[in-house]
Structure 1
Amino acid sequence: MTPKSLIPSKADERHPSDVRIGAVVIGRNEGARLVACLQSLPPVIARVVYVDSGSTDGSVTVARAAGAEVVELDLTLPFTAARARNEGLQALMAGEGVDFVQFIDGDCVLQYGWIETSRDFLRAYPKAAVVCGRRRERFPEASVWNRLCDAEWDTPVGQTKACGGDALMRAQVICAVGGYKPNLIAGEEPELCLRLRAEGWQIWRIADEMTLHDAAMTRAKQWFRRSRRAGYAYAEGAALHGAPPECHWVAETRRALVWGVGLPVVSIIGMALSPWSALLLLAYPAQALRLMRRFGNERGFFLTLGKVPEAIGVLEYHYGRMFHRPVELIEYK
C-alpha cells in the first residue's frame, strides 16, 4: 500500500549528514532531569525546541541557556503533552523546517547513537513514518512501580501499531495528518499512529537503545493515578476509533470494566441472594496466577490489581463526556 499522504522529500536520497533533524522536548518542572535531557541531545540535531507547560522551577531559563528555542504554552488553555508536541513541531517547521523530528519527554535522556541509527532506518524504509527503540527506566531498582514501567516498555521488535512519547518521525508526514490530537490527556501517540497507518504509513520498533526515562514513582498513589490515566485513555481511544476494523482499545476498555467494576458488583449483589456468589471473587487470584505465569509474579499481580484504577479512569471519561465536564490532566508526578 502506497502512503496516501506521501510528501516528496529528498531526505532518503541525500547524504546522511545533509538530512535535517530537529528535536521537540516537552516538560513541566522537570528540574535536573531537563538539564540531563538537553545535554544528551547530540550535535547531529540541528535545532532543539523546548515546550514548557507552565514550569515554576526555572526550566525556561535552563533551556535557553542550553541553546534551545523555547515555546511557552498559553496558560489559559489546558495543558496536554499532545498540544505541547504540536506547538513544538510548528515552531520547528518554521523557516526551512526539518526532515525528521525526535520527540522526547523532558524526564528522559537520549541514548548515544540513537539518532544516527533511527535516521538511517527511516532512510532505508521509505514507508516508515515513525521509528522507536528500547525505552528503559533509569532507576528500576528504586521501586516496584519503576520496575513495572520498565517492563511495560519492553515491547516486541518489528512493525507495530504504535509508539510511545519518544520516537523519531518524518516531520512533514506528521504535519500532513494534522499532528497529535491536542485535547487528549493520554494515549495521544497510539491515536496518531492509528491515523498514520490508515494513510498507509508504517510504525516500527527496533531493538536499539533509545532513551532512559525517570518515572520517579515511589508511592502506590502514583501508580494508581498512572493506571487511572491509562483507563481514561482506553475509554477515549475506544470512543474515537472503536469501530471495526481497528477496534482501538475496545478490548482494553472492556477488560477494565469487567475486572474493575463488573465482577465485584455482581459478586456483592449476588451475595445478598446466596453466599455462594462470593466464590466469583476467586476469579481474581486465578487471573493473577495466570498473568504471573505469563509476565512474572510482580507484573502479573499488578496487572490484575490495576484493573480497578483503570476502571475508575474509564468511568471518569464517560462521566465527563455525559455531563460535559472540562478535561483535566491526570498527573502522577
Structure 2
Amino acid sequence: MSSIAVVTIGRNEGDRLVNSLQSIKKVLPETNPIIYVDSGSTDDSVNKAEELGVIVLNLDLSIAFTAARARNTGLKYIVNHYPQINYIQFLDGDYELNPQWLDKAKKRLEENPSLAIVCGRRREKYPEKSLYNRLIDMEWNTPIGEVKACGGDALMRVSALKEVNGYKQDLICGEEPEMCIRLREKGWKIERLDLDMTYHDAAMYKFSQWWKRSIRGGWAVAEGYAMHGKPPENYMIKELKSGYLWGFIIPFSAIVLAYFTNGISLLLLLSYALLYWKIYRYRINFGDNVENAKLYAYWCVLSKFPQFIGQYQYWWKKINKQKFTIIEYKS
C-alpha cells in the first residue's frame, strides 16, 4: 500500500465527504497521503476534512471550477511532494471506498504494466430511496474486461498520467473518457475488474436533478465529439446522432408536418415505442429483471430530449464564444 495515494474532490458534500474520507482512512496506512481538493464549498466540508487529518487544497476562486481542474491539482501535489507514489486512487467526495478494492486493484496494475487504469463496479448506496438513484445504479453496471474509458473513481498509474499531462481541465464534464482516449493513443490500456470499487450517494430525489444531469450528459456527448469525433477514434458519433434524431428531428418533423400530411406524420412518434423495445431487450439480455428493464428503457427514451438540449447548448456557446460553466444537478 505504500505506493498508493488518494485524491478526492468535492464541493458542499458535508456528511457524504466525512463518510468518504473515513472509508479511505480505514484501509490506507497513516503514512500514505490523502488529498482533498475543495472547489469553493460554502458548508463545513473543509473544516471536517481538516479535522480528519487529510491534506486540504483549496482551488483559486477566481478561476472557474471543474472536476478536471480539481483532480489535476491533486495529481500535481502528489507528483511534487510524494515522488515515491506510483498509483493514485481518484474519488469524488460522495464516494465511499470498498475496503478490498485497493489491494486487488494495485495487484492488477503490477501484473500488467500496459495498464494505465483499473476501475471496478460503482454501486449506488441507496437505490431504494428514489427511482433516480435506482437508474444511476443500473447505468453503472457495465461490462468487465478491457474498456475504452473509466469514470471519476479509478486507480491510476502516475507515470501514465504524467505522460498525457493529466486531465484537460477546462472540460466541465466528460474529462475521464477524454483523458482515456489520449492514454490509449499512447498505447496504454484501461481495464474494468469484476469487483465492487466504490459506493456512491447520489441523493437524487427530484425530476429536475435528473433533467439537469441528462443535459450535462448531452453536453459531454457534443464536446467529446468536437474533440475526438474524427477517425480513427470516431468518439461519440453514434450518441451525437441519437440525440439529434430522437431529441429533435423526429418530434419536430412529426409536429411541423402534421398540417401538411393530415396528421399522418404523427405516426413518426410511434418510433419511440420501437426505441423503448430495443432498449428493453438489451437490458433483459444484459441480466436485468423485467421491472428494471422497463424502468431503464422508459427513462432512457425520455433522456433523449434533455440530451439534445445539452448538445444544443454546447454548440451554441461554442459558436458564440461564451464561457462554459459547470452544470450542477445536486441540491
The reply on whether 1:117 has 2:134 as its aligned counterpart is no
1:14 matched to which residue of 2? none
State the alpha-carbon separation in 1 of the partners of residues 143 and 183 from structure 2: 20
Residue 272 of structure 1 deviates from its aligned partner by 2.2
Give the match's secondary structure for 1:133: strand
| Superposition pairs of residues 250-329 of structure 1, within 5 angstroms | 250-274=237-261, 275-295=263-283, 296-329=293-326
1:25 matched to which residue of 2? 8
Letter of the structure 1 residue corresponding to residue 54 of structure 2? A
State the alpha-carbon separation in 1 of the partners of residues 249 and 29 from structure 2: 52
2:76 matched to which residue of 1? 90
Pick the aligned partner of 1:139 from 123, 126, 129: 126
1:43 matched to which residue of 2? 28
State the alpha-carbon separation in 2 of the partners of residues 298 and 176 from structure 1: 42
Give the match's secondary structure for 1:84: helix
State the alpha-carbon separation in 2 of the partners of residues 44 and 114 from structure 1: 14
Residue 137 of structure 1 deviates from its aligned partner by 0.3
| Superposition pairs of residues 70-85 of structure 1, within 5 angstroms | 70-85=56-71
The reply on whether 1:54 has 2:54 as its aligned counterpart is no
State the alpha-carbon separation in 2 of the partners of residues 293 and 21 from structure 1: 41
State the alpha-carbon separation in 2 of the partners of residues 163 and 124 from structure 1: 19
2:288 matched to which residue of 1? none
Letter of the structure 2 residue corresponding to residue 313 of structure 1? G
- Please list the CA deviations of residues 166-217 of structure 1 after superposition, one character each: whole Å capped at 9, or x if unmatched: 0000012102201001011111000010100000000000011100001110
Does the Cα contact within 8 Å between 1:294 and 1:300 map onto a contact in 2? no
| Runs of 4 or more above 4 Å deviation | none
User: How high is the TM-score relative to the length of structure 1?
Assistant: 0.93
- Please list the CA deviations of residues 92-142 of structure 1 after superposition, one character each: whole Å capped at 9, or x if unmatched: 112332100000000010001111110101000100000000000000001
Letter of the structure 1 residue corresponding to residue 326 of structure 2? L
Letter of the structure 2 residue corresponding to residue 263 of structure 1? I
Pick the aligned partner of 2:53 from 29, 47, 67: 67
State the alpha-carbon separation in 2 of the partners of residues 80 and 250 from structure 1: 24
2:141 matched to which residue of 1? 154
The reply on whether 1:205 has 2:192 as its aligned counterpart is yes
1:105 matched to which residue of 2? 92
Give the match's secondary structure for 1:272: coil
User: How high is the TM-score relative to the length of structure 2?
Assistant: 0.94
Does the Cα contact within 8 Å between 1:53 and 1:79 map onto a contact in 2? yes
Give the match's secondary structure for 2:116: strand
State the alpha-carbon separation in 2 of the partners of residues 192 and 44 from structure 1: 29
Does the Cα contact within 8 Å between 2:8 and 2:36 map onto a contact in 1? yes
Does the Cα contact within 8 Å between 1:225 and 1:330 map onto a contact in 2? yes
Q: Paired residues, what number? A: 316
Residue 294 of structure 1 deviates from its aligned partner by 2.0
Give the match's secondary structure for 1:245: coil
RMSD: 1.0
Residue 67 of structure 1 deviates from its aligned partner by 1.4
State the alpha-carbon separation in 1 of the partners of residues 279 and 139 from structure 2: 14
Give the match's secondary structure for 1:76: coil
1:13 matched to which residue of 2? none
More deviation, 57-66/300-309 = 57-66
Percent identity between the two aligned chains: 45
State the alpha-carbon separation in 2 of the partners of residues 299 and 172 from structure 1: 39
Give the match's secondary structure for 2:102: helix
Q: Which sections of structure 2, spanning at least 5 residues, go unmatched?
A: 284-292
